[in-house]
Chain A
Amino acid sequence: MLRYISRRLLSILLSLFLIITATFFLMRAAPGGPFSGEKKLPPEIEKNLNEYYGLDRPWYEQYTDYLVSIAKWDFGPSFKYKGQTVNDLINEGFPVSFFLGMEALLLAVSLGILLGVIAALNHNKWQDYGAMIFAVLGISVPSFIMASLLQYVLAIKLGMFPVARWESLQHTVLPALALAATPMAFIARLTRSSMLEVLSNDYIRTAKAKGLSKGQITVKHAIRNALLPVVTYLGPLSAAVLTGSFVIEKIFGIPGLGSQFVLSISNRDYTTIMGVTVFYSILLLFSVLLVDIAYGLIDPRIKLAGGKKGE
């Protein structure tokens, strides 16, 4: 187990190094300096600024500095907000995004599994077709369109929910739903197909031959095994929720890290883009690791020691 985790950590560090390096050089290659904004700055001020941000030094020094400061969990200053660091932005925005993301994750997982199980248990009946058409629609609607529609219909037209902002639990419902829609559809489809596969297994017939009731078979033998592939999907799921949050937070005016990131993109705030990208990458890589470890603990067939998944 420990060997597996340390091996995985090593490969995560390698990927991270790659990401940081790529981000660093991409940002340097980006068109226009950080201060080539609307107004031309006087040369002295620009020189001072360059000094302040360390832009006057050779690139390899800047690069190693950047690596060292990231290792110290320091993402550097923001170009656009004077006196603010990227760390400040993360500390401010991330808790909000985290709450919203978790809510969406819970919604997606619970509703998705429910739909998938119902569809599989009623294979080729109307419940199955209904759930799957619902799921295909969920996959077919891009999140920003889904969010705008939910906002327009449920909040503006029907007044059931607040239109925007981040004040009470009520305010979180619509954004969480919009964020959860696509992943939920994926989970429903995944659960359904995995459940159908499990239900066709010999051991389900054995369970039936033992005289267990349909409910007992479903809960004890089928769902548990059917959910294993769903667990592996939790990694990509967190990525989907994270990137989804960019647009959702913007539409609902939520002061999270996602909307901050989008803002920094349109502002071309390179240090913020860079810092938040690295932060997100760390987050995702570690959540994938967590999911893998959890999977190893849940499925007795998998021994994590070798690092290779058993049969």
Chain B
Amino acid sequence: MQQLPKEMFQPASVDLSEAEKISKPSLSFWKDVSIRFRKNKLAMFGLVLLILLVFMAIFGPHMTKYDYSTNDLMNTNKPPSAEHWFGTDDLGRDIFTRTWYGARISLFIGLAAALIDLFIGVLWGGIAGFRGGRTDDVMMRIADILWAVPYLLLVILLMVVLGQGLGTMILAMTITGWINMARIVRGQVLQLKSQEYVLAAQTLGANTSRIMFKHLIPNAMGPILVTLTLSIPSAIFTEAFLSYLGLGVPQPLASWGTMASEGVQALQYYPWRLFFPATFICLTIFAFNVVGDGLRDALDPRLRK
């Protein structure tokens, strides 16, 4: 003890305002989200997969000398070979070309349905949640009643009536598909509306549209994004389901759903006809699902450390 030098006991000049400084650099919300997302290996794998799938959907059909709809009756049901990488179908069409052409249609259906759901849902749910009161009651009651209608049954019915086609399929899917999104948006808006910082913004004199764009939308973004990501695979799923019921896009158009449902019939003898479209349906749904899950986990503020 004795060897401690005396001058050590001089008061240190402590700047107490230093103590109020934040020692850790604060990360912006989205930066934080992206860091956590990138740590999730499965989600990153899904993202890479999606990028690859989109790349192939764009360039895949041009990689062969074949056309998606040209029949070649000399070369029907050929197994995969150097000529036809994924083989050919019962009309001799190149499955590789059709698969990536089908990717365009399946992805387009998924994206279009999800985006239309998003548009209507955000509008409907946003207005209901933001206006509240009577407007909210009426709008959500309408949504509840529509929600009670069994989804796939209605879609089937509409497809029967409207006839097969790309547009009718998207229409049928979105006619009640937006309700889920509307509910989520409304829930978010209601929850955020009651939060102190929105109240604070109001007392500071921010006007409605400013509150909407500066506070509500960015904060509701997370759950909306997750719902959007997860509604794409469900649309692709529905497309495949409808195709199997014979309500898919009409020939010679190829979607993964129609290709797979044709492949199912030929499974015993020409398994590759099912294998390729089925694999890519599953991979796509899988990729969207894990990306959606990853997003949800990355956005969950309870995990913020």
Contacts and interface: CB of A to CB of B under 8 A. Distances in A.
Interface of A: 11-12, 14-15, 18-19, 22-23, 26-27, 29-31, 136-137, 139-145, 148, 152, 156, 239, 242-243, 246-247, 251, 262, 265-266, 268, 273, 277, 280-281, 284-285, 288
B245 A247 contact: yes
A243 B152 contact: yes
A152 B245 contact: no
Nearest to B260: A145
30 contacts: A11-B144, A15-B149, A18-B149, A26-B158, A26-B161, A30-B161, A136-B289, A140-B283, A142-B240, A142-B282, A143-B241, A144-B240, A145-B240, A145-B282, A148-B267, A148-B274, A152-B267, A152-B268, A156-B268, A239-B150, A239-B151, A239-B152, A243-B153, A265-B245, A266-B246, A277-B156, A281-B150, A281-B153, A284-B150, A285-B148
Q: Which applies to chain A's interface (DSSP): helix, strand, loop or mixed?
A: helix
A53 B281 CA distance: 43
A15 B148 contact: yes
B122 interface: no
Nearest to A157: B268
Interface string B224-250: 000000000100010011001111000
Given A26-B157, A137-B282, A140-B233, 5 more contacts: A15-B149, A139-B286, A152-B271, A251-B264, A268-B160
A14 B144 CA distance: 11
A27 B237 contact: no
A144 B286 contact: no
Contacts of B283: 140
Contact of B160 (A137, A142, A251, A265): A265
B163 interface: yes
Given A142-B240, A265-B246, A273 B148 contact: no
Contacts, number: 107
A303 B8 CA distance: 69
Contacts of B233: 140
A280 B150 contact: yes
A280 B150 CA distance: 8
A246 B31 CA distance: 46
A277 B278 CA distance: 29
B156 A18 contact: no
Nearest to B281: A142
B245 A246 contact: yes
Q: Which of A19, A143, A284 lies at the interface centre, i.e. has the most chain B CB atoms within 10 A of its CB?
A: A19
Contacts of A246: 245
Contacts of B149: 15, 18-19, 22, 281
B204 interface: no
B261 interface: yes
A266 B245 CA distance: 8
Contacts of A27: 161
Q: Which of A139, A144, A239, A288 lies at the interface centre, i.e. has the most chain B CB atoms within 10 A of its CB?
A: A144
A27 B289 CA distance: 36
Given A14-B145, A152-B267, A277-B153, A145 B161 contact: no
Contacts of A141: 278, 282, 285
B111 interface: no
Contact of A277 (B157, B237, B241, B264): B157
A144 B150 contact: no
B153 A148 contact: no
A23 B152 CA distance: 14
Interface in B268-305: 268, 271, 274, 278, 281-283, 285-286, 289-290, 293
Contacts of A26: 157-158, 161
A237 to B, nearest CB: 13
A156 B267 CA distance: 11
A16 to B, nearest CB: 9
The 7 closest A-B pairs by CB, nearest first: A15-B148, A140-B286, A140-B285, A243-B152, A144-B244, A148-B264, A142-B240
A305 B247 CA distance: 44
B152 A137 contact: no
Q: Which of B148, B151, B286 lies at the interface centre, i.e. has the most chain A CB atoms within 10 A of its CB?
A: B148
A98 B35 CA distance: 48
A281 B289 CA distance: 29
Nearest to A266: B246
A143 B189 CA distance: 36
Contacts of A30: 160-161
B290 A136 contact: yes
A258 B102 CA distance: 28
Contacts of A280: 150, 153
Contact of A144 (B151, B261, B271, B293): B261
B245 A273 contact: no
